[in-house]
Structure 1
């Protein structure tokens, strides 16, 4: 049986290798077809994490209508560990993914290391720095681009303004802190109503914004994972879970897979720490009816005196061409079109294009079309469309995983805070070495 398996595996590897060879001949056909010449129709597959009905299908439909020689199929994957593994498997074969989205630098780095993200340094027909702006550089790996960051990243705290008004609380100032958040959440909680919910993607936003400002490694070369600011926030959040009962216990949220965006829109929470992706639900009043107005606050810093804090934001939705694709030229043509306006149907769901070729007012109009009264426009303009120093987390995935494993023990009451801080720093130090 073992001999049969090894033989089959060898044949598979040979098949994949042969499929990857002869790329120059295929690429010659691509170039001809991608430029509008004769030839058989090229079929591309684009992988992304946004549900097809929330904009991607409209995007590819518009492209396919105008480009009969290059047809694109959208494939949705869930942006979690299992979904990303599924995408990475497709990328490695080079057969089922020509274009793909990465939503963090860490995920992109892994794909660059695997040799599946096309290096764009030799592409002279698209100026990423000029089109996207200075925030694009946060996505560079080894000084090069391996895709186009296509949308403006936005993360903030969603507020039920009616609940704030009822509690006599103003919309928080731009420089509020986690101590302020704790106070707000305690005053806003009610029976069957949490003061604060947090989306998994935003759970570490303030931790990440802090370490991006002060640096993950100290001047002496040791880990900064035991910094006092992290300790302060973890303590505050633990108190909110177990003393104030104003936010769900970590274990409860994980095991129940709380639909935090739906809960917020149903009035089961006064505040939601999340990103712009919630707009696609908040704007869908048919499936998520709500009669309260939504206001916005910045992601809170940990300390009032924290001058080097950075906010989750910048640009994201990194669209890359698979370096193993047989249709790289056609895929690159689509990627440029997508970034420079083709993605506009995504705006109604909160994904605003980052390219300067796109009229920002047009994108904002699409975002707010028919739902203008659902939002407090003053806080939206200050927070959602404000300009803040931002970051893209560039910690090694192993360090991120180690950190989450240690603070999870703390939030599950399996170890104390001092042990947690020491363990995070110790494990990070091992990766530094």
Structure 2
């Protein structure tokens, strides 16, 4: 979770360059689009689009591209993979700002999408009137609007969960949990721990989700406009997780996980640790028996809540994979044709990696078949359907500015590393958040 300060500095510089370029005449409607009278090319040569995304091509994107290219000889698409981390996102931003070939690109967070809109890198899609994003994707799409407009299409249903070794649960006489708390997860981790192995591990991307599950509904600021990072449940999460690290020894100390760069998916799929906090991208590994052979069934549970009251629980989810068209692309009409097709079901092979299409017009049976493939019997289907397809639990999309995400992770890391107390940690988060709020009024 720790961000490299030099990466942040370079990212700010690159985005500032883009903003200056926008001030010199790019209004995000980009006059080059007017030169594209149709999706094809008047010269008779096929248009070539380059789509940048963070998913490995073999985990769905290449099959999607091959299917499109076979049916559309006049518009050919090439897939360019970037790693969805600080360096990878910087590479994408730099490519667009310096005029390299980028026609479509995937935003994985609202904060990244918003910065690209601010820097005039994303096309305002309101110029297209033949596709109703709200109607296609439902009410959850609203959370991806930036200044009241869509600068991309949210294409996937996102799921975050605790993956469980069902065989280990059965051996410990533990049921697959529903509507559970972090205290209950702590008990499970103790009962499932064997020898020197841990009972619970986490992918770093959703690590902080318990905090956001609370503040996304209760507010990141209080009624007086000051920081709410001293909410009692934040302290509850910090102390619970720290106790699991230091007292129970059921989850790795954060320092160990960061320095070892623990391959948590591999550790879980090998059967070494029976519980893993992760997102639906686990499926691209759990369906890969060549690289990750396993002999146990996987069950699924919602990420546990901090509050005792189940009625107040929200889970991270909603829609994701927000695909934008480069405002500088010379092939915007062709890119739009591909994006509509992709969104309405062309993306079905992406389900093999846990990415389910969000559009109401996508064939969900096809997506489910792609999701499970030939390994259907290696999953606990009841819990999978409950976690991935239950619409009763309210969801949120993480929308916190990157600067706030960075400052709070920097402070709670100090707590988990033992260099400051719980009270010092919360006071530091609140102080730094309040400074950010004052600077960004």
2: CA distance, partners of 1:368 / 1:225: 40
How far apart are the structure 2 equivalents of 1:109 and 1:191?
47
8 Å Cα contact 2:161-2:277 kept in structure 1 = yes
State the partner residue of 1:203.
207
The equivalent residue for 2:338 is 334
User: Equivalent residue for 1:6?
Assistant: none
Matches for 1:134-283 after TM superposition, within 5 Å = 134-173=139-178, 175-283=179-287
- Structure 1 residue aligned with 2:80: 75
Q: Which residue of 2 aligns with 1:119?
A: 124
- The reply on whether 1:51 has 2:73 as its aligned counterpart is no
Aligned counterpart for 2:36 among listed residues 23, 30, 33: 30
Match of 1:305 among 306, 309, 328: 309
Distance 1:315 1:116 in 2: 21
Give 1:343's aligned residue: 347
Cα offset for 1:368? 1.5
* Structure 2 SS opposite 1:331: helix
Structure 1 Cα separation of the partners of residues 72 and 208 of structure 2: 42
- 2:14 match: none
Inter-partner Cα distance in structure 1 for 2:356 and 2:313: 24
Match of 1:94 among 95, 99, 111: 99
Task: Check whether the contact 1:131–1:355 (CA below 8 A) recurs between aligned residues.
Answer: yes
**Distance (Å, rounded) in 1 between the aligned partners of 2:90 and 2:430:** 28
In 2: Cα distance, 1:31 partner to 1:90 partner: 26
In the alignment, which of 128, 133, 138 is matched to residue 133 of structure 1? 138
The answer (yes or no) to whether the contact 1:29–1:39 under 8 Å persists in 2 is no
Q: How many residue pairs were aligned?
A: 417
Structure 2 residue 411 is the aligned partner of structure 1 residue 406: yes
Q: How much does 1:39 deviate?
A: 3.1
Counterpart in the other structure of 1:41: 46
Contact 1:348–1:366 (Cα < 8 Å) also in 2: yes
Q: By how many angstroms is 1:94 displaced?
A: 3.2
Q: Which moved more, 1:339-348 or 1:265-274?
A: 339-348
In the alignment, the residues of structure 1 paired with residue 26 and residue 305 of structure 2 have an alpha-carbon distance, to the nearest angstrom, of 48
Q: RMSD across aligned C-alpha pairs, in angstroms?
A: 2.1
Counterpart Cα distance in 2 of 1:129 and 1:384: 21
Q: Which runs of 5+ in 1 are unaligned?
A: 1-11
How does the TM-score come out when normalised to structure 2? 0.91
Contact residue 213 and residue 309 of structure 1 kept, 8 A: no
In the aligned structure 1, how far is the partner of 2:154 from the partner of 2:271? 34
Within the candidate set 362, 382, 400, 1:395 is matched to: 400
- The worse-fitting range, judged by mean Cα deviation, of 220-229 and 114-123 is 114-123
Q: CA deviation at 1:28?
A: 4.9
* Cα deviation, residue 97, structure 1: 1.1
Aligned to 2:112: 107
Partner of 1:317 in structure 2? 321
C-alpha distance in structure 2 between counterparts of 1:181 and 1:280, whole Å: 25
Confirm or deny: 8 A CA contact 1:46 1:98 kept in the other structure: yes
3-state SS of paired residue (1:269):
coil
Say if 1:198 and 1:273, in contact at 8 Å, map to a contact too. Answer: yes
The answer to which of 323-332 and 258-267 deviates more is 323-332
Contact 1:403 1:424 in 2 (8 A): yes
Distance between the aligned counterparts of 1:196 and 1:164, measured in 2? 13
**After TM superposition, what 4+ stretches of structure 1 lie above 4 angstroms from structure 2?**
16-21, 23-26, 35-38
Structure 2 segments unaligned to the other structure (5+ residues): 1-16
Residues in 1 aligned to 2:46 and 2:331: alpha-carbon distance in whole angstroms = 11
CA–CA distance in structure 2, aligned partners of residues 130 and 94 of structure 1:
34
Does the Cα contact within 8 Å between 1:136 and 1:315 map onto a contact in 2? yes
Contact 1:102 1:319 in 2 (8 A): yes
Q: Does 1:381 align with 2:382?
A: no
Give the Cα–Cα distance (whole angstroms) in 2 for the partners of residues 24 and 145 of structure 1. 16
Q: Is contact 2:40-2:74 (8 Å) kept?
A: no
| Mapped pair 1:358 → 2:362 | yes
Q: Residue 20 and residue 393 in structure 1: after superposition, are their counterparts in 2 closer, same or farther (change >3 A)?
A: closer
